[in-house]
Chains A and B, each alone.
Chain A
Amino acid sequence: MRSLFYLCAALAVMALAFWAYRENYATQQALKDVSKLNREISALREAIRMQRAEWAYLNRPERLSELAAVNFDRLGLLPLQSEQFARPENLPMPPVDLPDVTDAVDVMAATAEEEAQP
């Protein structure tokens, strides 16, 4: 009886020691992962800063206006004019009583009717 108790105690000690060591190594590994991730995060932050700076550099008004001038044939961009302001009531508004979009053909027919009306 007594020897069985000793055997159990010894086994329990071994099992606990095994568990404790495993936890210890797992913790160390987790800490290593954390510091690796932290390094990665700061490297990525640095990269984001760099790209923000580059974005700002590539979007500087001087360059954009040059690009607009160079690509005028394709884009036809001109400075904003006061005539380009409009009032909301002057904008064409979609008709109010459209049916639900359940069937595309119905909707097309309905909008065509709507447009046909003066």
Chain B
Amino acid sequence: MIRTPLRPLARILPARARGENPDVIERENIRLRHETMRERARERAQGRLVLLALGFCAGFAAVGARMAVLAASEPTEPRSAPATAQIQAQRADIVDRNGRVLATNLATHALYAHPQDMVDPVRAARELARIFPDLDAEKLQAQFTGESKFVWVRRKISPEQRQEVHEIGEPGLLFGTREMRLYPNGRLAAHVLGGAGFGQEGVHSAEVIGTAGLEKALDGRLRGLEDPAELGRPLTLSLDLTVQAVVMEVLGAGMKLLNAKGAAAIIMDARTGEIVSMVSLPDFDPNDRPRPPTSGEPSDSPLFNRAVQGVYELGSVMKIFPVAQALELGLVNPDTKVNTKGPMTLGRFKVRDFRNYGPELSVTQVIVKSSNIGTARIMSEIGPVRQQAFLSTLGFLEPIPLEMVEASGGKPLLPRKWGDIASATISYGHGLSATPLHAAVGYAAMVNGGYLVRPTLLKGDAPAQGPRVISQKTSDQIRVMLRQVVTEGTARMADVPGYMVGGKTGTADKLKPNGGGYYKDKVMANFAGAFPMNDPAYVIVVSLDEPVETSGSEPRRTAGWTAVPVTSEIIRRVAPLLGLRPVIEPAPSVALTRARN
């Protein structure tokens, strides 16, 4: 490096000669040198700053660009991740208590058209009408040649139909994937399941949503809206497929034989409230659910679930409740004599019995013979206020909650004024209308030791025990009475050897639809009971709408001749399937005499 001298002789000497101070020159040179040094340092610092700024800029640009890329790109599954279990299912399966499929999904296709892409719309319309006979070629052609750019042709097509449509070779006909709800058992449990249909529809997929029954009530659970993991787990119902099939078969045969208009049956676990079978006839195919009726009686539609929505007077089935209440309150015991001299006058009403049962009967005999007068007399001891409270605890004043949307339709019809007269008529089952499900819940509490059960269609893990409504002692006495109704009373045909059936019949004249009293020749025949009566496991309620038994010289309509034989056949077939071992009844009933002293 060449250093410029601070005191160059070439300038010092002439300056000395002129008599000037040579130090001025030196200072001047030092100043100049410092200036250049400062300049260089400044430039270097500036360069570093620019570099730093460039570095920051590059960093921010990289972050920004990455964000832009992330924001603009399509989200994709990580390709190296293992296949997760069953993400493709849109709706969880429904299975019965033994895991047999009641509802599942099937991949299928929907057919739609883009008319602007069509080569030969006329031919396409003609061919489609050939493949799907219910389509109208003229109408399709009008749609294909019209203004629209998108036409739905069919919501669901089978693989064979899809192949045939492929063979038309029309580029404007396109397929969208669909999941379809399938009920492989057809009509079985149709009312419980309800049905499903498409919700929001797109080209590539469509929501499958429940339209009725359990499918609608538990839609969120089935679609995994709360917890997507639930999609992979099937929903297990308390229904038993085999039992359901047998009940349906027997009830259907009974309904046909007795010329009934409709029928319903419920079999419920007496302790847990799990419904093992629920049948309502006539029924429908949930795969092809009919449209709800727009006119006429709703109960005439096959969609009507008689077991849950059928609000009718239950008749003498109700008699057990005042008797249980009177026993519970200590007003009577099973052997107390009750005055049954008829007719009993209540205001301007006269209460009569089916036939004259003499001047007095014991409380047990009142139930066994089904005496209206006897029950009304017992009721007069209890009074309407306490009666209303008791029926309210048993759930007779409100719809019974159940995992079906139709459950809220089972609202009981109550008397406008619940006075002494209403109280008396309700005691033997007139004046208060309720559903077979109400009867099942009430009877479960009567026979299971006095606990209220909450009916459910879902298989539970833990035994659910509700609050106590009557004491164990009362429940035991009721069981003895109900058993005697079958062994020596109005329901003798219900006896099934080995299964100790017990229960109560009820025949209620049907109300005329627009007031004006009762029909003379139209009845609801009911039977509510339980089996086996020594340790009730299941409650059964059977209800027939307008049955007639015509084997005798005159038509018989009472429940003893209609609902009872049907119930007995159901129990005979179903009890072995439920795994109940037949019990040889102790000869002159050791267990049964206990409560009678």
Contacts and interface: CB of A to CB of B under 8 A. Distances in A.
Interface of A: 30-31, 34-35, 37-38, 41-42, 45-46, 49-50, 52-57, 59-62, 65, 79-85
B186 A60 contact: yes
A55 B99 CA distance: 13
A82 B576 contact: yes
A82 B104 contact: no
Given A49-B104, A49-B106, A52-B104, A42 B88 contact: yes
B80 A65 contact: no
B569 to A, nearest CB: 11
B7 interface: no
Contacts of B496: 82
16 contacts: A31-B80, A38-B83, A52-B104, A53-B182, A54-B184, A56-B101, A57-B184, A61-B188, A61-B242, A61-B246, A62-B187, A79-B246, A80-B576, A83-B582, A85-B581, A85-B582
Interface residues of B, number: 35
Contacts, number: 77
B88 A60 contact: no
A40 B575 CA distance: 46
Given A60-B184, A82-B497, A53 B106 contact: yes
Contacts of B294: none
B249 interface: yes
A49 B105 CA distance: 8
A26 B86 CA distance: 28
Interface string B91-130: 0000000001100111100000000000000000000000
Nearest to A42: B88
B141 interface: no
Contact of A53 (B83, B101, B188, B242): B101
B79 A31 contact: yes
A13 B129 CA distance: 69
A82 B245 CA distance: 18
A50 B158 CA distance: 13
B498 interface: yes
B100 A46 contact: no
Contacts of B582: 82-83, 85
B509 to A, nearest CB: 35
Given A31-B79, A61-B241, A62-B245, A82 B575 contact: yes
B556 interface: no
Contacts of A83: 582
Given A57-B184, A80-B577, A42 B83 contact: yes
B499 interface: yes
Interface in B442-490: none
Nearest to B497: A82
B245 A56 contact: no
Given A60-B188, A61-B245, A82-B499, A46 B88 contact: yes
Given A49-B105, A56-B185, 16 more contacts: A30-B80, A31-B79, A35-B79, A56-B101, A57-B182, A57-B185, A59-B100, A61-B188, A61-B242, A61-B244, A62-B186, A62-B188, A79-B246, A80-B573, A80-B576, A82-B498
Interface string B496-528: 111100000000000000000000000000000
Contacts of A49: 89, 104-107
A45 B88 contact: yes
A86 B572 CA distance: 17
A35 B81 CA distance: 9
Interface string B238-263: 00011011100100000000000000
A8 to B, nearest CB: 34
Interface in B65-85: 79-80, 83
Nearest to B575: A82
Given A56-B100, A61-B241, A45 B576 contact: no
A81 B89 CA distance: 41
B573 A79 contact: yes
Nearest to A38: B83
Contacts of A62: 185-188, 245
Nearest to B104: A53
Contacts of B245: 61-62, 65
A82 B104 CA distance: 34
A67 B50 CA distance: 90
Contacts of A53: 101, 104, 106, 182, 184
B475 to A, nearest CB: 26
Contacts of B184: 53-54, 56-57, 60
Nearest to B86: A45
A13 B177 CA distance: 51
Contact of A81 (B106, B186, B249, B576): B576
B188 A84 contact: no
Nearest to B88: A42
